[in-house]
Chains A and B, each alone.
Chain A
């Protein structure tokens, strides 16, 4: 009691009000009844994974050295020498993979339930930004290992940025810290990965959640109407989901631990250069068409994706036609995405 009093004297705020706001915003946050089902309550998965990425990422920076001479060696040190280092690295690497998968699942759910429609268009666009930020996270993180594959994927990847209309060259020089991939590139990627992207992601996640909260979670048909409080039921579900994800990722780390590869050698181009698998669809597409066309087409796709909530209503006045077109477009996009991913995986 003495401690509470001591604190109150030093932080003279309105405690009853604070408790009330806390209860309203978090403890008693109304959760729709359908979310008692496990199938519907996994929306927080990307956020849980992001939380784990932050924790494991901080652990990794204790030992990681972002210099061309030391980067590979420090990752090797983490993987082979540091106590539980392989686990931290495994969770971080698998976390990035699962984050992409969970975001894709989230996009599928939002898209096919048409949850991007008015008045939630802005939140869809924020979602697209979050997805792109996550991909940037993955791209920059992958390059930090500084092995042959990562180095050359970075070289080729940044080289493609050069082809982006108007801003390509400037973006390339900004990312590489010059025209070539040098020491500057690694330190920039590291700074972007640990300094710039986390606050940006947190900011957009906050906007995403605030918009979600002010609109409320959309409720599907066929479930009893009504709400229950966030705490304890949903809170414990999130804890259970976190533990399940941690167990799943630990198992993956043990069964399929991330490798080290060979130390980056700028003088020796490997026979096969490939990005991480989540870039396979784009990479395969760019291999199929002339680079300039590929870049323009990708840019157009990105614009269409971002502004889809405004494009879809223009397709037709008839709701049925709109839905048919939307499901066909979405279905085909996913089939091409999966197909190109498998195709790229199968070839050298």
Chain B
């Protein structure tokens, strides 16, 4: 072969080789660049389950969910979670193979890989969800038929299910099976599945708060699939952010939802949490929660906000104690038939077992279980309407209802209270207060005929009350120092030393017109039918 021919052959062969092979490689790589779904490799047993389920069309949607899970990517198939021995409580013989299937993978099964998460959850208040339900309260045990509570109380309280294998909890309450995607559990709606309704409207409180408002406005653009252990890259928190997620200063994220809770504020009385839950003091829990707040807020705001919420909890205790006092008076006079409220101190059984047939008993129950929680939880989570109209307003109304019932039944003390024209009669319990608020001073907010104006030595009294709870160890030293600072600067904090804006007088003049003049001017006389 001459050299020219050799050149032509070499060029021809290598050109064709390069064009064909490199185009195939480039095409293959280009196709791969569009692949979002990672390749899934699983063992033969799981492949057998999936093939059979898909062929028979049984629970295929769950398999699709699993395909989208991290489990699938990591090669964790059906068998790893559903494997069971013959004598296990949930063992089931697969009708198509010789496999024994566990129908109910429990936290015990999840713990094989997720030890830390399951242990944390088992030490949280979620773990006693079912215990709380099973306290033999009359709502489920007396007042309601059982069938009515299966899809009611039970459905949510199962988050603390006591499984026959000794494990406790229900991981898929938050991590829907079979996708188990953390990005779902990071959304407020997951918690809102149970933390909703008149007795603990947490999702409603959240959504009416600025946090929830930011979530509604911008949540669609947040990156939900951030790596575990990172602080959430959100501009506002969701439930999980405050109660579970890592922060910028601490990589620690937890499945113990009680780890940052300093109040047992779902109970009839608010009490500081004990060390058993999460194994740390309430002061340490507060430090951890503050770490969350400080990612977005200044310390001064956070401290003031939390002090307000703490004093709100303490104030609630006083209101509830006063309510019980009146209930006891009514009981002693034969108006209330049950005696349960006479020992309704710090107990979750604060509802009558033998009665629950009087409206006033319902009022008493709802007072702590509904209104009392709304008042406290609204204050803790920035839910203004729940603190106010669904909270303190209804608590006060309930108190008046009880006293009014006493007066109607001729109880002297109650009659005297009803007949009194003193506006201070509504402040019949010990008061807490702090000068100013977290939002900043106002020249107007604390003007007018307020309790601080009507009650002699108001600030001295509330100061002594706050000092008493601090001495009792219910406030931290930092809080007491802050309180003293606010107390000493109360004139500034209350804002009365500041001048009203010039437009105020104009506002008042026009509001007076709104209130007194407009209707008179716009009033019309019409003819109506006689009947």
Consensus secondary structure, chain B interface: helix
Contact A108–B15 (Cβ < 8 Å): yes
Report the Cα distance A276→B32, complex, angstroms: 11
Give the chain B neighbours of A268 by CB distance below 8 A: 227
Confirm or deny: A149 has a beta carbon within 8 angstroms of a beta carbon on chain B.
yes
Confirm or deny: B420 has a beta carbon within 8 angstroms of a beta carbon on chain A.
no
Give the chain A neighbours of B31 by CB distance below 8 A: 256
Give the chain A neighbours of B18 by CB distance below 8 A: 101, 104-105, 108, 334, 338
Give the chain A neighbours of B21 by CB distance below 8 A: 338, 341-342
Contact A334–B34 (Cβ < 8 Å): no
Contact A262–B29 (Cβ < 8 Å): no
Confirm or deny: B357 has a beta carbon within 8 angstroms of a beta carbon on chain A.
no
In the complex, what residue of chain B is closest to A319 when comparing beta carbons? Answer: B3
In the complex, what residue of chain A is closest to B35 when comparing beta carbons? Answer: A259
Contact B11–A101 (Cβ < 8 Å): no
Report the Cα distance A267→B230, complex, angstroms: 9
Contact A252–B15 (Cβ < 8 Å): no
Contact B25–A327 (Cβ < 8 Å): no
Q: A221-B4, A261-B33 are in contact. Are A345 and B10 (CB under 8 A)?
A: no
Contact A334–B33 (Cβ < 8 Å): no
Name B227's contact: one of A93, A257, A267 (CB within 8 Å): A267
Contact B4–A222 (Cβ < 8 Å): yes
Confirm or deny: B36 has a beta carbon within 8 angstroms of a beta carbon on chain A.
yes
Consensus secondary structure, chain A interface: helix
Report the Cα distance A104→B27, complex, angstroms: 17
Confirm or deny: B430 has a beta carbon within 8 angstroms of a beta carbon on chain A.
no
Contact B11–A93 (Cβ < 8 Å): no
Q: Which of A94, A105, A267, A268 has the most CB of B within 10 A?
A: A105
Contact B23–A101 (Cβ < 8 Å): yes
Contact B227–A252 (Cβ < 8 Å): no
Confirm or deny: A323 has a beta carbon within 8 angstroms of a beta carbon on chain B.
yes
Give the chain A neighbours of B409 by CB distance below 8 A: none
What is the total number of residues of chain B having a CB less than 8 Å from a CB of chain A? 30
Report the Cα distance A342→B17, complex, angstroms: 12
Give the chain A neighbours of B26 by CB distance below 8 A: 94, 97, 101, 277
Give the chain A neighbours of B27 by CB distance below 8 A: 252, 256
Chain A 318-348, CB-CB to B under 8 Å as 1, else 0, gives 0000010001001100100010011001000
Chain B 99-130, CB-CB to A under 8 Å as 1, else 0, gives 00000000000000000000000000000000
Chain A 261-298, CB-CB to B under 8 Å as 1, else 0, gives 11101011001000011001000000000000000000
Name A331's contact: one of B10, B33, B35, B230 (CB within 8 Å): B10
Contact A112–B10 (Cβ < 8 Å): yes
Give the chain A neighbours of B196 by CB distance below 8 A: none
Give the chain A neighbours of B227 by CB distance below 8 A: 265, 267-268
Name A109's contact: one of B11, B35, B36 (CB within 8 Å): B11
Confirm or deny: B30 has a beta carbon within 8 angstroms of a beta carbon on chain A.
yes
Confirm or deny: A30 has a beta carbon within 8 angstroms of a beta carbon on chain B.
no
Contact A277–B25 (Cβ < 8 Å): yes
Contact B11–A112 (Cβ < 8 Å): yes
Contact B19–A105 (Cβ < 8 Å): yes
CB of A327 to closest CB in B, whole Å: 6
Confirm or deny: B22 has a beta carbon within 8 angstroms of a beta carbon on chain A.
yes
Confirm or deny: B14 has a beta carbon within 8 angstroms of a beta carbon on chain A.
yes
Confirm or deny: A216 has a beta carbon within 8 angstroms of a beta carbon on chain B.
no
Confirm or deny: A178 has a beta carbon within 8 angstroms of a beta carbon on chain B.
no
Confirm or deny: B6 has a beta carbon within 8 angstroms of a beta carbon on chain A.
yes
Chain A 73-98, CB-CB to B under 8 Å as 1, else 0, gives 00000000000000000000110010
Pairs A–B under 8 Å by Cβ, sample size 20: A97-B30, A101-B23, A105-B15, A105-B19, A112-B11, A112-B14, A113-B11, A114-B7, A252-B27, A258-B30, A259-B30, A259-B32, A259-B35, A260-B34, A262-B36, A263-B223, A331-B10, A334-B17, A341-B21, A342-B21
Q: Told that A341-B22, A342-B21 touch, could you supply 16 new A-B pairs with CB distance under 8 A? A: A94-B30, A101-B26, A105-B19, A108-B14, A113-B11, A114-B7, A220-B4, A252-B30, A257-B30, A259-B30, A261-B36, A276-B29, A323-B6, A327-B10, A338-B22, A341-B25
- 5 tightest CB-CB pairs across the interface, nearest first? A259-B34, A259-B33, A97-B26, A256-B30, A112-B10
